[in-house]
Structure 1
Amino acid sequence: MLLTCVDRLLTETVISTGVDVSDFSEAAKAEIKARGLSLRAVAKAAHYDVSFISRVLSGKQKPSIDLAKTLDRLWGTQLVDKLREPARIEQPSPNDYVRNAVAHFLEHDNRHGGDHVASAAKQVWKAEQKKLSSYEDKKRLSDVAEIAEVAGWLLFDANRQEEARQAFIESRHLAQLAGDKPMQWFALDMLAMQDVQSGNPGEALRISEELMTNPRVPGRVALLGRVRHARALALTGDRTRALDAVERAQGALQDSISNRDPQWAWWVDEMEVIGHRGEALISLGDYKGALPHLQRANELVKPNGRGALYYSVAELTALAQVGAWRESETTLSRIGVILESVASSRSRARLKGALRVIERDAPDWLKEHAREAVSLG
């Protein structure tokens, strides 16, 4: 017995108003035409009222899921897929937006350097900090502390050092309010890193000693403190203690891993420690001794990204100082390629120093090659 149109509307599940049914109607009409069927024949086979079928096909009536399934069963089609509501695009929450933005900034920095995302990260940090209505939401405080740290790192790579320091200090302050020890350690490590970059060994030594001697600090964080300590000692000219500190850090690479390590410590690896050993030797004026370590770091670093530019420039700095002109030529060519996709003002500023040495001391053919290979604008 055929159900009337009204009966069907009362007993079937009709699709939601969010679905565009025109695709269903056109596909159904195409099937009917291809099979040489009349509307009455379709209605009879499907046990539907012909007027209902007519209205559906003309777009005056929304089809039901049951009708689509019935026709699919009769014809072996997939008309029901035409009626499935598309997946809703969930609007991200403010916290999701910030997390996604931070992830994007860091990925961009790894691939292309911090110059072009530093201002955006700073803007997100400042905007989120203004939204803090109280200091009672510890999770929110911790999240904003992380944003400040990321902004600080990107500003550091963009060679905007005063702004970077402000961000690191604020990150530590917010982490303290949140009771977030791992983020406090991270901010302290970043401050020590910047002190070394800026030639301020005094504060770097104080911070690194705090990280090294605090019994609550996990092994991986203490190892980082030892690396910063070595770099600061090298700045003071204390070769023996500096190299001893970096030796201890390198020896502790495997033993320092524990389940207490914060998530942010994932990047502390062989490349990091070897690279810092080379940098410490540069600070001590031992450019020849630094080269094997910087070259090893270049072998380990991800090619063509911000890290590759950093270590290539460090290697060129040492090569130029020892007059290794042929090796400098190769490194200059590599740097020229990386600069096409990486913008890191921190590394570019250092590169200018190496180029000045080449311009002053190198043979003419290398000077010409440097001008052709590297354009700093």
Structure 2
Amino acid sequence: MTAELLALDRTHGARRAAPEAVRAVEAVAGHPCPPSASGPDGAALAELFQVAAWILFDAERHGLSQRLGRRALALCRDLPEEERSLELLVLSVLSMQQAHLGRPDESLRISSSVLARGDLPARVAALFHVREARAHAQLGRRRDALRSLGAARELCADGPSAQDPPWAWWFDRAELDGHHGLVLADLGDADGAASLLHAAVESGDGPAYRSLFAADLARVLVRAGAWRDADTWLSALAETAPRMGSVRALNSLGRALGTVERGRRVPRGLRDTARDLTGLLGREIPPRDR
């Protein structure tokens, strides 16, 4: 069940995968002989809850996502030491979710507590430095945010290693560039943010949720008043936006379009582009999927 959810999410994103994730969790809970959390099925159950929590986070269904994340975390902590690396993935999603929901203090508490362990594989440590950087940036701590980003870059310099857990495969250069760009956007560096987000988008194929970087690039350009670049980018998104599988991405794009439509001194051409794209999304994507 977990493998099927992962494949669906990677290819089509949370819009398609979220209903299946809910059904999978309900099927496990309602089974006449549910897997035992304390038995040999505990690791598989924790992984299912973690994957479902991640998908529901990207679908902006945060209440259920957080409940499943906490259940996964509790299961992980009862596993043998050699099977507990999944706990770090659960914590990384919970930290990112807190930042997404505007709770940087809680996000920072989670990421800093993990980094304090000191025995992390390099790529995992880099991931939590990125989470730490985003929280620092949201709190207005520019120096701390840049220091955390520098640490993440240094840890990733040598590429993947044999010590990295299997689940860390997705934390690659494109992922680092994208999150680096989001941190710079929070710090008010629109040019730096746009450059890194563009690099993340242009890096090639990746999981469906990475459409978030394309949507956030539009939001950064609009907020910076880079009207010509924003018009070019939004026009380019007209073909791909209806297929965005990430609800977070659709919401970010919607905020960018709303800023254009409500803004003052916005060129008429850009306003028309935003209106056309808004209408396209309205026709192509049911409200329940946004």
2:288: which partner in 1? none
Which entry has the higher C-alpha Rg, 1 or 2?
1
Matches within 5 A, 1:161-310: 161-179=62-80, 180-255=83-158, 257-302=160-205, 306-310=208-212
1:368: which partner in 2? 272
Which whole-Å deviations, capped at 9, do the CAs of 1:11-48 have from their partners, x for residues lacking one? xxxxxxxxxxxxxxxxxxxxxxxxxxxxxxxxxxxxxx
Matches within 5 A, 1:1-377: 98=1, 102-129=2-29, 131-132=33-34, 134-137=36-39, 139-179=40-80, 180-255=83-158, 257-302=160-205, 306-359=208-261, 360-361=263-264, 362-374=266-278, 375-377=280-282
With normalisation by structure 2, the TM-score equals: 0.88
**Contact between 2:219 and 2:256, CA under 8 Å: does it hold in 1?**
yes
Rate the CA distance shift 1:239–1:127 in 2: closer, same or farther, 3 A.
same
Which whole-Å deviations, capped at 9, do the CAs of 1:329-353 have from their partners, x for residues lacking one? 2211232211232232211111121
**Contact between 2:222 and 2:230, CA under 8 Å: does it hold in 1?**
yes
Looking at structure 1, the residues matched to 152 and 175 of structure 2 have their Cα atoms a distance apart, in angstroms, of 10
**Residues paired across the two proteins, number:** 275
**Contact between 1:250 and 1:270, CA under 8 Å: does it hold in 2?**
no
SS of equivalent to 1:351 = helix
Rate the CA distance shift 1:316–1:237 in 2: closer, same or farther, 3 A.
same
Task: Flag as ranges the 4+ runs of structure 1 deviating above 6 A.
Answer: none
The alpha-carbon deviation at position 308 of structure 1 amounts to 4.8
**Contact between 1:250 and 1:274, CA under 8 Å: does it hold in 2?**
no
Looking at structure 1, the residues matched to 96 and 238 of structure 2 have their Cα atoms a distance apart, in angstroms, of 27
What is the letter of the counterpart of residue 343 of structure 1?
A: G
Structure 2: state its 5+ residue gaps.
283-290
The alpha-carbon deviation at position 301 of structure 1 amounts to 4.1
The share of aligned pairs that are identical, in percent, is 32
Looking at structure 2, the residues matched to 270 and 150 of structure 1 have their Cα atoms a distance apart, in angstroms, of 22
Rate the CA distance shift 1:184–1:308 in 2: closer, same or farther, 3 A.
closer
With normalisation by structure 1, the TM-score equals: 0.69
When the two chains are superposed, the root-mean-square deviation of aligned CA atoms in Å is 1.9
Structure 1: state its 5+ residue gaps.
1-97
**Contact between 1:220 and 1:265, CA under 8 Å: does it hold in 2?**
yes
